[in-house]
Amino acid sequence: MRILVIEDNRDILANVMDYLQLKGYTVDCAQDGVSGLHLAVSDHYDLIVLDIMLPGMDGYQLCQRLREDAGRDTPIIMLTARDALDDRLKGLKVGADDYLLKPFALSELVARIEAILRRSSGGGRHRLEVGDLSYDLDTLQVSRAGKLLKLNPVGLKLLEVLMRKSPAVIRRNVLEEALWGDELPDSDSLRSHIHQLRQIVDKPFETSLIHTVHGVGYSLAEPTQ
């Protein structure tokens, strides 16, 4: 899932981006309204986190232009320090899907993101696909080339993070934090789980999807021609 965060406060932006990436989302950002609108129109995002008070073009204007001029229905969560009812209503009237008051807990932001993404998908099945590899997030079934694969819980979580960010390279520390949080195991644990995942996802098939970027981390992507 790809999320665009448009926020001019660097500290808030960094915290939101880091947290969303740890949760397995691919995140792009902009720090002003004009750049944010350009990204929102020129690329595909599953959801936009949008601050209201932005330089160049405020969040209300950006949201309205995205809806009316560009015809985009990308779900939008607005962030603001304004608690007045009129401000909240204005955001909803120009096309926002939700409204989160600053300061906010990052866990609440993620909960709202997940709720909106569930609604925007019609409450149906959630499926990640990379090449011939498919992961149904509702049934926890993984298959490749039509063959059902059996993974343990750590393997499922690792695969989900890799597939969500595909084809990006994910650093080792990001994967470790996504799997174990602050209680990190010994240094060889991630390598061991990657090896086990490869044995199931790659070894029985002609092409490998899991790639090592030495000294950096891992990616899951179709091989380039």
Mean pLDDT for 172-196 is 84
Q: What pLDDT, on the 0 to 100 scale, is given for residue 121?
A: 60
For 137-144, what is the mean pLDDT? 87
Tens of pLDDT, residues 211-225: 999 989 999 998 765
| Range picked from 59-68, 84-93, 164-173 for highest mean pLDDT | 59-68
Q: Which residue ranges make up each domain of the chain? A: 2-120, 127-220
Model confidence band, residue 125 (pLDDT cutoffs 50, 70, 90): very low
pTM of the predicted protein model? 0.55
Query: Two tokens at 100?
Result: 């989160």
| Band (35; pLDDT cuts 50, 70, 90) | very high
| Lowest mean pLDDT segment, chosen from 9-18, 67-76, 146-155, 181-190 | 181-190
Assign domain 2-120 to its CATH architecture.
Answer: 3-Layer(aba) Sandwich (3.40)
Q: What is the CATH number of domain 127-220?
A: 1.10.10.10
